[in-house]
Structure 1
Amino acid sequence: MNVLVAGATGYLGQYLVKELQNRGHNVRVLIRKEHQKELFNGIDDFFIGEVTQPKSLQGITDNIDWVFSTIGITRQKDGMTYMDVDFQGNMNLLHEAKQTQVKSFLYVSAIGGDQLRFLKIFEAKEKFVDALKNSGLDYTIMRPNGFFSDMTDFLEMAKGGTVYLFGNGEYKINPIHGEDLAKVCVDKIMTDEKEVQVGGPVLYTQNELAEVALKAWGKKVKIIHLPDWIRRIIISVVRTFTSSKVYGPIEFFLTLMAFDNIADQYGTHYLEDFFHQKVKEI
């Protein structure tokens, strides 16, 4: 297949490119700058453009069968909002895909996004999900419940010897490594499944995540549980007194800490190994 990967320079995107190459597909990579070619080996089909500038994308899906989009931002920067990137940027790609009759479009959103539209980051993502479902194209919505890279917040906190959690720390999550998620993405675009909730092979409570992070640093297990009302007050305060650029990622992370995020289990990578590798790199 001839495949376009948008968001290829990001955490998941780079793994997607490698996985598609390993399976013998012809990969076109969307980049913003010429120097980003250095991030990829064995790729000779690059398209330079900006997803937020539709004219720069003209022809991007010519002769493309599948589109994989991991386009999205966790923190708003460079004057760009979630609506600019997560929604409109993906809409610009979808417009091109419809013009050239792409066979299938896979978009990476997040678990629970359809129930959490009141969060700024999910408002934009799910607005695009709605558009993709109504586009007439075959589609797949991937809903991971957290990347290993997202868990480095626990690791950073643990570096000081103490991890702070809200409530009793018993909410559960099974985050997934980017390489494992890339394999699932490629597998699922070839099936009839329209929406896939995907997580890693091990289910952790927040307390267990904290323990794994502390042990990676060789620290004694020290976890302090804060009353959950503090979490709710923080969300309320940042929503009231800051812009969405500031409160968007804060309300996202704090809201997701208040319930289970359990998805189907996939993969062979383990968070303990990831944390230990990160500590070595630091």
Structure 2
Amino acid sequence: MTNKNENLKVLVAGSTGYLGKHILQELKNRDISFKAIARNPAKLPNLNKDQILEAEVTVPSSLSGICEGFEVMISTVGITRQKNGLTYMDVDYQANKNLLREAYQAGVKKFIYISAINGDKMRQLKIFEAKEAFVDELKNSGMDYTVLRPNGFFSDMGDFLEMAKRGRVYLFGNGQFRLNPIHGADLAEVVVDAISSKEKNITVGGPDVLSQNEIAALALDSWYKDVKITHLPDWTRRLTICLLRTFTSSKTYGPIEFFMTAMAMDNVAPRYGSHRLYNFFQKEVEKQKP
């Protein structure tokens, strides 16, 4: 069967990150021609040199002409933990705006951007302030686009595993809020499907909708621990966020603010994929065994 995207040329930014690498693999699986933008090509050892374009997305001059000849731009560019003095606005907003400008000038037909679930409803958080400012730019650009809003990644559930390793998981509130995190490989399928999709906004999560209590129990079981969960009063979560905002910079409190806010609500997205969280936990535990 002929691949209807076989003549496309796709450019991927944020290619060295967790999701970016899965997207590159999915493009390979479908025989779609692509190149990856990378500041450090050594982080993409599985690609040929001619598949990598070396550039720094926060430096506009390094991107000059980089989009020429491409039909689709996929960007996962963003930072969870700030470094090198860069802020969320520097990366999640401005770096993506730099890419958008180059894509527009080069006649790229479509821009696919990955934000996060409920980002449009939580603009007060530092991370989403920047992401959603870029989404606004993208929507007003005149270019065809898709914004994906995935639920948390399996890799984001690492805090549960770390606590479980010590034999007890701590949760804020009663632990009944639900979410359906998604594996990077499953999400990559949705991202690549978006190339030919007419949807402008896609919210997606993994196949299993679980409460925080259930995720904690899975993590403990993965370590062969008894189920021990301590529920902390929700005011301790709110106080922690307040103290962090008052006494630390956004560089420190941004990721914690996001995590603690997200854990105080349901985050359930349309279900997709075949990877199960419990299997992921088991594999991660195996990696850590001596």
TM-score between the two structures when normalised by the length of structure 2: 0.95
After superposition, where does 1:8-19 map in structure 2 within 5 Å? 8-19=15-26
- Cα 1:43–1:13 change in 2 (3 A) is farther
Shift of 1:21: 1.4
Are 1:272 and 2:278 counterparts? yes
Q: 2:196 aligns with which of 162, 168, 190?
A: 190
Contact 2:16 2:44 in 1 (8 A): no
Instruction: Indicate the RMSD between aligned Cα atoms, in angstroms.
Output: 0.9
Q: 1:5 aligns with which of 7, 12, 15?
A: 12
Cα deviation, 1:186-214, whole Å, max 9, x if unaligned, reads 11221110001100000000000000000
Aligned to 2:261: 255
Give the counterpart letter for 2:12 in structure 1.
Answer: V
After superposition, where does 1:36-115 map in structure 2 within 5 Å? 36-38=43-45, 40-41=46-47, 44-115=50-121
Aligned to 2:32: 25
Aligned to 2:165: 159
Are 1:131 and 2:137 counterparts? yes
Aligned to 1:218: 224
Structure 2: segments with no counterpart, 5+ residues: 1-7
Structure 1 CA distance for aligned equivalents of residues 195 and 121 of structure 2: 24
Q: 1:178 aligns with which of 173, 184, 190?
A: 184
Percent sequence identity over matched residues?
A: 58
Cα deviation, 1:158-185, whole Å, max 9, x if unaligned, reads 1100000011100000000000000011
Shift of 1:87: 0.3
Are 1:230 and 2:198 counterparts? no
Shift of 1:145: 1.1
Which shifted more, 146-155 or 40-49? 40-49
Contact 2:72 2:109 in 1 (8 A): yes
TM-score between the two structures when normalised by the length of structure 1: 0.98
Structure 1 CA distance for aligned equivalents of residues 118 and 249 of structure 2: 24
Structure 1: segments with no counterpart, 5+ residues: none
Aligned to 2:5: none
Structure 2 CA distance for aligned equivalents of residues 103 and 34 of structure 1: 26
Contact 2:82 2:251 in 1 (8 A): yes
Cα deviation, 1:122-172, whole Å, max 9, x if unaligned, reads 000000000000001100000001000000111011110000001110000
Which shifted more, 186-195 or 2-11? 186-195
Shift of 1:43: 6.5
Structure 2 CA distance for aligned equivalents of residues 242 and 205 of structure 1: 31
Shift of 1:42: 5.3
Contact 1:167 1:225 in 2 (8 A): yes
Aligned to 1:142: 148
Give the counterpart letter for 2:273 in structure 1.
Answer: G
